[in-house]
A and B are shown apart, each in its own frame.
Chain A
Amino acid sequence: MSTDSQQNIHHLPVLEFKSSTFSVPVLVLASNDIITIEQQLQEKIRLAPEFFKNSPLVFDLQELNSLDLDIDVASLTNMIRKLGLLPIGIRGGVAQQNQQALELGIPTHSGHSARDGAHAASQSGTGVASTAATSGSKKQQAPKPEADPEPQTVTASTVLLTQPVRSGQRIYAAGDLIILAQVSAGAEILAEGNIHVYGSLRGRALAGVQGNTEARIFCSDLQAELISIAGNYKISEDLNGAVLNQPVQIYLQNHTLVIKDI
């Protein structure tokens, strides 16, 4: 086995970068008293020892900093590690706290997190607005938190829209994207997972944008300008009359897009 893989080593890529979303517990602090934090944390751990054992953890210092309470990141980290948790990120920290965290090998993250983005996007048909709002907010140097080698739960958030997606709007979903209205010509919808459109699909729909070849597009009326799954695409001109204006599903088979009625 080892010889095989050595022979192939020059031909086959052995690594690949992918982007994923993980669900990680976030510790929001409202006090800078390390001893009290430790006591209360111990109580929590006692209630569910298995859950917290070796669990990754992100510190959220935003509230603390808004109350003007400083905290020593080094002692906080030591205490957390002592309790068996593995800090993998800090967010909402001020420059000095971020610096301290980086010295301890803990990545920093800007205050406004994916939570805000996913929240805003799923509430209303305002993908454009939510992107703008997130990027326009507090800008700090923000290397993304390292993905834990063994994430406990991998949950990508599903985005549900009930309003039409209008020309010029762009909606991105880290998981599945479900739209209960039409998607206008000139609109663009992207999802890392599947796309469902329960209305006319006239814009561009791209599923599996991070390379998921299993992703599918479902729509109740296909009039799309472009459809794509994991980078394999067809433009409107390539769609034949038999599938146009029909309820269809689109999936990938041997690197070819298959459009089938449903």
Chain B
Amino acid sequence: MARIIVVTSGKGGVGKTTTSAAIAMGLAKKGHKTAVIDFDVGLRNLDLIMGCERRVVYDFVNVINGEATLNQALIRDKNCNQLYILPASQTRDKDALTQEGVGKILDELKKEFKYIVCDSPAGIEKGAHLAMYFADDAFIVTNPEVSSVRDSDRMLGILSSKSRRAEQSEEPIKEYLLLSRYSPDRVKLGEMLSVDDVQEILSLHLLGVIPESKSVLNASNSGTPVILDEKSDAGQAYADIVARYLGEDRPHRFIDEKKGLFGKLFGGR
């Protein structure tokens, strides 16, 4: 049975698109046929992060309007043949999305794909609403700072009251916390909320901590999801997250500051 995953946060700039690209790639690399959809109509970025911006012909809105078929719009990833990208339209706005249209596309995708990752835009308006409406699982991406945490809390409230599952009184959406841009050194200095602080405020199952890392920016600039950079800490963190999501039991990493000689030499990063 296909599962629809929404990657959402409320707040902007916390790493939703990076996360969507990474986990979609991670799931596909594990052999599951996966589609990743950019819901950020008008401000599309996912194609850049996935490195397929030069191959976009048709987009999400074209499919909704019946101007193209789903197969015409889906772009196969060049690194992994199990992964497909449905880009957003850059020339339209969120009003081009309709609940009926989105529902139809997701239903069609569910026939072919095991996982459908929806990259939500920031905010709680139409785009974000439609991205989460049909979801089975939600990845809440949060930065360790108070405004991001509060926005995530707000988004959790919306997930539990305005989603399809909530409206039809089905089993609620499964919610997972992803704490991104985490820096143990800054937590120690009191400049950042700790994992425990965030978990106490949100009381949510922690799927993983993604450390603040240069590799994320490098990956974005080169158009390869950071999970493919297996040597990087962020890449490993996402690999852990995908494994945990699929049921593997892996201990949490990147929560404590680096120690020892290595830490002293490179701890400042």
- Number of A-B contacts defined by CB within 8 Å: 57
Q: Is the CB of A181 within 8 A of B154?
A: no
Any A CB within 8 A of the CB of B107: no
Indicate the size class of the contact surface on chain A. Answer: 20 to 34
Whether A167 sits at the interface, judged by CB under 8 Å, is: yes
Interface flag for B161 (CB, 8 Å)? yes
| Interface-located stretch among B20-28, B44-52, B162-170 | B162-170
Which stretch, A50-58, A120-128, A148-156, touches the partner chain B?
Answer: A120-128
Q: How far is the CA of A186 from the CA of B147 in the complex (A)?
A: 12
CB nearest to A125 among chain B residues: B160
Question: Are B157 and A181 in contact, with the CB atoms below 8 A?
Answer: no
> If A123-B169, A129-B167 touch, does A166 touch B154 (CB 8 Å cutoff)?
yes
Q: Is the interface of B mostly helix, strand, loop or mixed?
A: helix
> Do the beta carbons of A185 and B162 come within 8 Å of each other?
no
- Once bound together, how far apart are the Cα atoms of A169 and B160, in whole Å? 10
Query: Is A213 at the interface (CB under 8 A from chain B)?
Result: no
Alpha-carbon gap, A186 to B10, bound state (A):
14
Q: Which residues from chain A contact B105 at a C-beta distance below 8 Å? A: none
B203 touches A128 (CB 8 A): no
Q: Does B150 lie within 8 Å of A129, measured CB to CB?
A: no
Q: Are B203 and A167 in contact (CB under 8 A)?
A: no
> What's the least CB distance linking A51 to chain B, in Å?
33
B residues 170-218 near A (Cβ < 8 Å) are: 172, 200-201, 203
Q: Are A167 and B161 in touch, CB under 8 angstroms? A: no
A181 B203 Cβ-Cβ under 8 A: yes
Q: Does A159 contact B (CB under 8 A)?
A: no
Cβ of A203 to closest chain B Cβ, rounded Å: 10
By a CB distance below 8 angstroms, the chain A residues around B200 are 200
Bound: A167/B169 CA distance, A: 21
Complex Cα spacing A127 to B160, Å: 10
In the assembled complex, B153 has its CB within 8 A of some CB on chain A: yes
Contact B154 A186 (CB under 8 A): yes
Tell whether A163 is near chain B: CB-to-CB under 8 Å.
yes
Q: Does A194 contact B (CB under 8 A)?
A: no
- The reply on A49 being an interface residue by CB < 8 A is no
Q: Which residues of A contact B156 (CB under 8 A)?
A: 164, 166
Cα distance, A124 to B157, chains bound together (Å): 12
A227 shortest CB reach to chain B, Å? 19
Interface residues of A in 159-215 (CB under 8 A from B): 163-169, 181-182, 184-187, 199-200, 202
Question: Which residues from A are CB-within-8-Å of B154?
Answer: 166-168, 186
Q: With a CB–CB cut-off of 8 A, which chain B residues contact A129?
A: 161-162, 166-167
Of chain B, the residue at the smallest CB distance from A133 is B167
Q: How far is the CA of A88 from the CA of B184 in the complex (A)?
A: 66
Q: Is B255 an interface residue (CB 8 A)?
A: no
Per-residue 0/1 for A97-133: is the Cβ within 8 Å of any B Cβ (1 yes, 0 no)?
Answer: 0000000000000000000000000011111110011
Residue of B150, B166, B172 near A185 (CB, 8 A) is B150
What are 15 A-B pairs at a CB distance below 8 A?
Answer: A125-B161, A126-B160, A128-B161, A128-B162, A132-B162, A133-B167, A163-B172, A167-B157, A168-B154, A169-B161, A181-B203, A184-B157, A185-B150, A185-B153, A186-B150
Instruction: List 6 extra interface pairs beyond A123-B169, A163-B160, A164-B156, CB under 8 A.
Output: A124-B166, A124-B172, A166-B153, A166-B160, A181-B203, A185-B150
3 tightest Cβ-Cβ pairs between the two chains A and B: A166-B157, A129-B161, A167-B153
